A and B are shown apart, each in its own frame.
Chain A
Amino acid sequence: MSVPNEETTAVDASAPEFLLDQHVKYIQALDTKKNDLEYWLTEHLRVNGLYWGATALHILGHPDALDQEQIVEYLVKCQHDNGGFGGHIDHDPHILSTLSAVQILITYDRLDAIQVDKVVDYIASLQNEDGSFSGDSWGETDTRFIFCAINCLSLLKKLDDKRLDLQKTIDYVVRCRNFDGGFGSSPGGESHAAQVYVCVGTLTILGALHHVDADQLGWWLSERQLKNGGLNGRPEKLEDVCYSWWVLSSLSMLNRTHWIDAPKLIRFILEAQDTETGGIADRPGNMPDVFHTVFGIAGLSLLGYPGLVAVDPVYCMPRHVIQRIGLIEKH
């Protein structure tokens, strides 16, 4: 059951109102902008974009606002013989789009439409000797790809696949931990809130969160909030709506969401809404896009904003979906 948040978080009365209906319309209109060059230039993000859009709509309580049947048909066409999904039809398979495709299919409860075993083959083929995962067969590695792999396998209930060495994955992630308690994209890489999210998420799913010093990392994460309420991703950088998700979900996994000022963050996200077109931008006054729209809305949901469907802090999918597939006790 998708039950909207009932907790009435202290929402500042003078804060802008939440434009729920406009956001729904904004997301529905995304696929109609074929006269814009931008539409074509972002084609490689189509599958990711669908995940962002569909997830946002679910959290908004409008799960049927997109044509589910059409999306499933489209996704099937994006799957390659090796099991991976491309960012669009005829685009090469990559773990980023593979996770998005699986997330959408699970949200819609339509895993039956694809060959799950092949997806698992694909992901297993990307694990490297040191425990990390490559993004595709060209070999780029990044902790983001580790999270994509572990998240995807966990959603598919295939973490017990014999080809995987998950202890090595944990060891690798731990090697990415820094002097400040945060995590980077690779061993030695600077701490960054989005990389913290993927590493803490991976460790959460793998039951290895004891490698994280929650007080130290929670401190670092809480220092991401700036005076205007927005969150940045690294010290001395600008605020951005998408960090509402990366920082907040990490704090949530560490049971420390209360370490930042929720009403101020809510206000910042609401101010980044586009009152004309709907959608949310990276910060007030900028152009909205579906990426910032979903992470803004997911952030609001995690903050208990009234009227939104609860989101899961690890998987960034509706909580009732994660409950349905039986993964809720894991964290």
Chain B
Amino acid sequence: MESRHGRKKEQAESPEALKTREEKETVLVREYLALKDTLKEIVESNKRDNDALKVTTALLRKSPDYYTIWNVRRTILKEGFLDNASDDETANKIYTGELEFVQENLKLNPKSYWMWNHRRWCLESMSQPRWDKELAMVGKFLEMDARNFHGWDYRRYIIRQLDLKDKEAKDKVLERAQSEFDFTITKIHQNFSNYSAWHNRSTLLGKLAEDMSTEEREAIVDNEFDLVKNAIYTDPEDQSAWLYELWLIGREERSISILGAHVISFHPLEIVVAFDETVKMRNPFTVSTRVDHVAIPLEGEWKATGSDSALGSVWIFQQAPGAVYGPTVEIVIFSDDVCAVRAGSKLPAAVCYELETLNQNLDEISGRLGRLVIGQNLMYDVTKRIGPVTGPDGTLETQAVHPKHRVTSLTESGSLDDRIALLEREISAVRELVELEPDCKWPIQILSTLLSELRKTVSIHSTQAKVIDDECIELQEKLITIDPLRQERYEDRRTQLVFDRETLSIIQDSKRFPEIEYSAKQPTNLDLSMRGLTHIPISSYLLHLHTLNLDSNSITSTRFLRNLLNVRRVNLSNNLIEHLEGMQHAPSLEFLTLENNMIAKWEDVVAGFVFWGEGKLARTGGHVKVLLGNNPVVVNEGGEYVLEKRWEDVGKVGVEIQWQSEELRLAEEALLAAEDETGAVGNMVVDGTRRVSATVVEFDAGLAH
């Protein structure tokens, strides 16, 4: 493909020039097609001689990416020459000729995959390939184009081949890695922006450090930090060194936390387990119950909330019909039962929850699907967390201390103090650069990342954590102004930081650092209005809420609603929502305000309710009132009357939609009341503008689809 890049469009030519060019082109085409015909004869007649080889040479000179000819050429070489070669020397001569042929063509087409490939074939087929010569050759190529990835790939390939030969001689392999490491520094010194060299350095550093002592490692890593400093002071906008710095710092692997497990319904038994991030369930969590003092597995099914049940932060277990449970139910989640969708985090060890089901008040929860239970604080059930537990194979899962502080991607340290010292040193160095170059985005981005790393080392409720959060939020705001191209990335990051800050009261540090869990007392109301949020980063945090105010943010999706099992009132007015989703799984939802959003199409309203039949609300028969005033849909779809009619067409469900804005409705009510007072007949149509403000319509999901 590369040959198609970068061809300048030529200016219009004179008729004479065009004619001459066309004539020349005709000759070239004729010659080329004649060569191709000859090749066809060769292939068909199985000719494997010098003449045949020459035809492939001529064709490949003209069309180096014609891969079939390379294949034909190798077949001719093999069957016509190499198989009959009397000795290695003869064969080597042939291969050497090929290498020369490739080299001469590579100069013209340094990005042709097929040519590099042919070269590898020659070397791998030779009895004594001269890898040293290859290394010199590719070194020259990287002088012509220091970023040619074919060249770099080939260089690594040569090293791999050599290492393979020296499998038993570790010192030679290390020596070679060192020499390659030195090669990258030459390239970096020629140009600090040589990202290819920085990349290769990252692959070599690990190899070199493998057998080093801690001191040696620290020395080599310090050396790297110095190199980075040199580069970033030379050009603070160059991302190469910054990305390398980030890698050197590494990231502390945060584990997945289980925020809590709770019974939400007794008939049928439903248990919810909440994680602090989206996880994929690899094996269903083990649920057992004690019947007559014997633990037996409890049959049932795990599902994530929402229609896409493979991933989620809130998981619900529902007992199989007819399954019987005793006074306690136990859930065990093994560390490999889940994996985080975000790479890197794991559940550090198996956890077990014991849930008491004895003291359930059957009178209270019978009838309306345990709504009363759902409405309770989730600590309603005595939730005990015990561990460690035995693994599936019967052995006790070791509570091994997982290395938490990844100082670099090649060294890990268990010492928190070392980690803090390193971060503080780097933070102060980057801070200096931020002061020197206040409008340069890379130092600011890296400073923010380093601060976030430092925050992981302190308690989430500490003053230091708060100070860091505030600074990071400010840094994102600065980035939004100086790098508008990536504005929304910074806004998402800012949202995460603001959300973390505002929801601190909901979580607490678990005793098993660095995990978190729900704090003992859960708020039922949360006001997050006017915070500039673009999304809800961890909706499982909000599981307990009854009322959530998100008025005047920049939220684009209602998908998070699916995890809000207890929420009754949500205010999402003045956001950027374009279509409804998620609410069909919010079983307690009663009132949803969506005024002044960007919902433009009828289908995008209906989409929120299409799975209604599968959601709980359909079973409870609950009613939801949705306020949609001042969304483009009202005008786009023909105004309020038409929408009311279309909604009626859909069927029946307990959804009440108000198209008119609440403000207008209240004004009308006031007008009506005033009319009543003056003794006028209510509902009198004065000028034909009065409208039925809200229509209760029945909506049946099954028919809608």
**What chain A residues lie within 8 Å of B7 (beta carbons)?**
281, 286-287
Query: CB of B511 within 8 A of chain A?
Result: no
Interface mask (A65-92 → B, CB under 8 Å = 1, otherwise 0): 0000000000000000000001100111
In the complex with contacts A179-B243, A259-B488, A210-B153 CB distance below 8 A:
no
In the assembled complex, the Cα of A154 lies from the Cα of B175 at a distance in Å of 45
CB distance from B245 to the nearest CB of A (A): 11
Whether A138 and B74, one on each chain, are in contact in the complex, defined by CB atoms closer than 8 angstroms, is: yes
Contact B341 A209 (CB under 8 A): yes
Instruction: Write out the residue numbers on chain A whose beta carbons fall within 8 Å of the beta carbon of B40.
Output: 90
| B-chain residues with CB within 8 Å of residue A207 when the two chains form the complex | 310
Please, how many angstroms separate the alpha-carbon atoms of A258 and B240 in the complex? 24
A138 and B116 alpha carbons, distance in the complex (Å): 13
One of A55-63, A114-122, A215-223 contacting the partner: A215-223
* A235 with B240, Cβ < 8 A, contacts A188-B156, A210-B339, A260-B485 known: yes
Interface size class of B (residues with CB under 8 A): 35 or more
Which residues of chain B are near A283, meaning CB under 8 Å? 6
Surface stretch bound by B, among A15-23, A36-44, A314-322: A36-44
Q: A161 at the A/B interface (Cβ < 8 Å)?
A: no
Nearest residue, chain A, Cβ from B338: A210
B461 at the binding interface (Cβ < 8 Å):
no
Report the Cα distance A309→B68, complex, angstroms.
36
A225 touches B247 (CB 8 A): no
By a CB distance below 8 angstroms, the chain B residues around A34 are 29
* Smallest Cβ-Cβ distance to B43: which chain A residue: A90
Q: Which of B194-202, B416-424, B665-673, B697-705 is found at the contact surface with chain A? A: B194-202
Q: How far is the CA of A35 from the CA of B36 in the complex (A)?
A: 16
Q: Are the CB atoms of A37 and B9 closer together than 8 Å?
A: no
Q: B32 at the A/B interface (Cβ < 8 Å)?
A: yes
Interface residue B152 (Cβ < 8 Å from any Cβ of A): yes
Please name the residue on chain A nearest to B485 by beta carbon. A261
Known: A40-B33, A223-B239, A260-B486. A138 touches B409 (CB 8 A): no
Task: Select from chain A the residue with minimum beta-carbon distance to B71.
Answer: A92
**Among the listed B65, B149, B308, B344, which residue makes an inter-chain contact with A44, where contact means beta carbons less than 8 Å apart?**
B65
Q: Which residue of A has the minimal Cβ distance to B201?
A: A179
Q: Is A258 a contact of B488 with CB atoms below 8 Å? A: yes
Q: Which of A180, A240, A291 contacts B243 (CB 8 A)?
A: A180
Whether B340 pairs with A210 at a CB distance below 8 angstroms is: yes
Whether the Cβ atoms of B343 and A213 lie closer than 8 Å is: yes
* A window 205-243: CB within 8 A of B: 207, 209-215, 218-220, 222-223, 225, 227, 234-237, 240, 242
Q: Are A291 and B1 in contact (CB under 8 A)?
A: yes
B residues near A86, Cβ cutoff 8 Å: 68
Q: Does A140 contact B (CB under 8 A)?
A: yes
Q: Give chain A's interface secondary structure class.
A: loop
Determine whether A326 belongs to the interface, using a CB cutoff of 8 Å to chain B: no
B9 touches A274 (CB 8 A): yes
- Least CB distance, A199 to chain B, in whole angstroms: 13
Instruction: Count how many chain A residues have C-beta atoms less than 8 Å from C-beta atoms of the other chain.
Output: 66
| Residues of B41-69 contacting chain A, CB below 8 A | 62-63, 65-68
Q: How far, in whole Å, are A136 and B486 apart by their CA atoms in the complex?
A: 41
For residue B66, which residues in chain A have a CB less than 8 angstroms away from its CB? Answer: 41, 43-44
Q: Which segment of A24-32, A102-110, A163-171, A189-197 sits at the interface? A: A189-197
Assess A35 versus B26: contact at CB under 8 Å? Given A43-B66, A291-B1: yes
Q: Which residue of A lies closest to B248 (CB)?
A: A179
Are A210 and B341 in touch, CB under 8 angstroms? yes
A92 touches B68 (CB 8 A): yes
Q: Mark A116-147, 1 if CB is under 8 A from B, else 0.
A: 00000000000000000000001010000000
User: How far apart are A244's CB and chain B's nearest CB, in angstroms?
Assistant: 14
- With a cutoff of 8 Å between Cβ atoms, the chain B residues found around residue A218 in the complex are 489
Asked if A138 and B9 make an inter-chain contact with CB atoms under 8 angstroms apart, the answer reads no
A94 at interface by CB-CB < 8 Å: yes
Are A215 and B121 in contact, with the CB atoms below 8 A? no
A292 at the interface (CB under 8 A from B): yes
Whether the Cβ atoms of A190 and B6 lie closer than 8 Å is: no
Tell which of B149, B342, B489 touches A190, judged by Cβ atoms closer than 8 Å. B149
The answer to whether A286 and B9 have CB atoms under 8 Å apart is yes
Task: State whether B489 touches A213 (Cβ < 8 A).
Answer: no
Q: Say if the beta carbon of A289 comes within 8 Å of chain B.
A: yes
- Contact status of A87 and B488, CB under 8 A, knowing A191-B199, A240-B5, A292-B4: no
Known: A138-B74, A236-B195, A282-B5. A189 touches B153 (CB 8 A): yes
CB-CB < 8 A to B342: which residues of A? 210, 213-215
How far is A209 from B601 in the complex, measured between Cα atoms in Å? Answer: 32
Say yes or no: is A9 at the interface (Cβ < 8 Å to chain B): no
User: How far is it, in angstroms, between the C-alpha of A31 and the C-alpha of B120 when the chains are bound?
Assistant: 35
When A40-B33, A44-B66, A237-B147 are in contact, do A212 and B343 touch as well, CB less than 8 Å?
yes
- A186 at the binding interface (Cβ < 8 Å): yes
| Cα-based distance from A94 to B113 in the complex (angstroms) | 14
Q: Say whether B156 contacts A210, CB under 8 Å.
A: no
Identify which of A6, A227, A282 gathers the most chain B CB atoms within 10 Å of its CB.
A282
Mark each residue of chain B from 375 to 404: 1 if its CB lies under 8 Å from any CB of chain A, else 0.
000000000000000000000000000000
Q: Mark A233-269, 1 if CB is under 8 A from B, else 0.
A: 0111100101000000000000010111100100000
The answer to whether A282 touches B341, judged by C-beta atoms less than 8 angstroms apart, is no
- Please determine whether B195 and A190 come into contact, CB atoms closer than 8 angstroms: yes
* Interface residue? A178 (CB, 8 A): yes
B49 to chain A, nearest CB (A): 21
B8 within 8 Å of A by Cβ? Answer: yes
Within the complex, the shortest CB–CB distance from B335 to chain A, in Å, comes to 15
B203 within 8 A of A: yes
B39 → chain A, closest Cβ, in Å?
10
Contact across chains for B5 and A234 when beta carbons are under 8 A apart: no
In the assembled complex, B98 has its CB within 8 A of some CB on chain A: no
Separation of A236 and B487 alpha carbons in the complex (Å): 21
Does any Cβ of A come within 8 Å of B238's Cβ? yes
Q: Is B280's CB within 8 Å of the partner chain A?
A: yes
Q: Does A185 contact B (CB under 8 A)?
A: yes
Q: Say yes or no: B156 contacts A179, CB within 8 Å.
A: no
Instruction: Give complex CA distance A37, B409 in Å.
Output: 51
Q: Are A235 and B195 in contact (CB under 8 A)?
A: yes
Q: Given A138-B71, A179-B243, A210-B340, verify A286-B195 contact (CB < 8 Å).
A: no
Of A37, A44, A92, A220, which is within 8 A of B25 by CB? Answer: A37
Nearest-Cβ distance from residue B581 to partner chain A, whole angstroms: 14
Contacts of A282 in B (CB 8 A): 4-6
Cβ distance A153 to chain B, nearest Cβ, rounded Å:
20
Which of B120, B147, B339, B489 contacts A259 (CB under 8 A)? B489
Q: How far is the CA of A85 from the CA of B665 in the complex (A)?
A: 66
In whole angstroms, what is the CA distance A223 to B62 when docked?
38
Residue in A34, A94, A235 whose Cβ sees the most chain B Cβ within 10 Å: A235
Smallest Cβ distance from B144 to chain A, in angstroms?
A: 16
With a cutoff of 8 Å between Cβ atoms, the chain B residues found around residue A240 in the complex are: 5
Contacts of B156 in A (CB 8 A): 188-189
Query: Are B67 and A44 in contact, with the CB atoms below 8 A?
Result: yes
Q: How far is the CB of A161 from chain B (nearest CB, A)?
A: 22
With a cutoff of 8 Å between Cβ atoms, the chain B residues found around residue A222 in the complex are 485-486, 489
Which residues of A lie under 8 Å from residue B32 when comparing CB positions?
37, 40-41
Contacts beyond the supplied A138-B71, A179-B244, A281-B9: 12 A-B pairs with Cβ under 8 Å: A41-B66, A138-B74, A178-B199, A179-B199, A185-B149, A214-B341, A222-B485, A234-B149, A236-B194, A256-B489, A261-B484, A274-B9
Interface residues of B, Cβ cutoff 8 Å to A: 1, 4-9, 22, 25-26, 28-29, 32-33, 36, 40, 62-63, 65-68, 71, 74, 113, 117, 120-121, 147, 149, 152-153, 156, 193-196, 199-200, 202-203, 238-240, 243-244, 247, 280, 308, 310, 339-344, 409, 484-489, 492, 601
Between A and B, 24 residue pairs with Cβ closer than 8 Å are A35-B26, A36-B29, A41-B66, A44-B66, A90-B68, A92-B71, A140-B117, A140-B120, A179-B409, A180-B243, A188-B203, A189-B152, A190-B195, A192-B149, A210-B342, A235-B193, A256-B489, A259-B486, A261-B485, A261-B486, A261-B487, A274-B9, A285-B8, A286-B6
Q: Lowest 5 CB-CB distances: which A-B pairs, in order? A: A179-B202, A259-B489, A179-B247, A213-B343, A235-B195
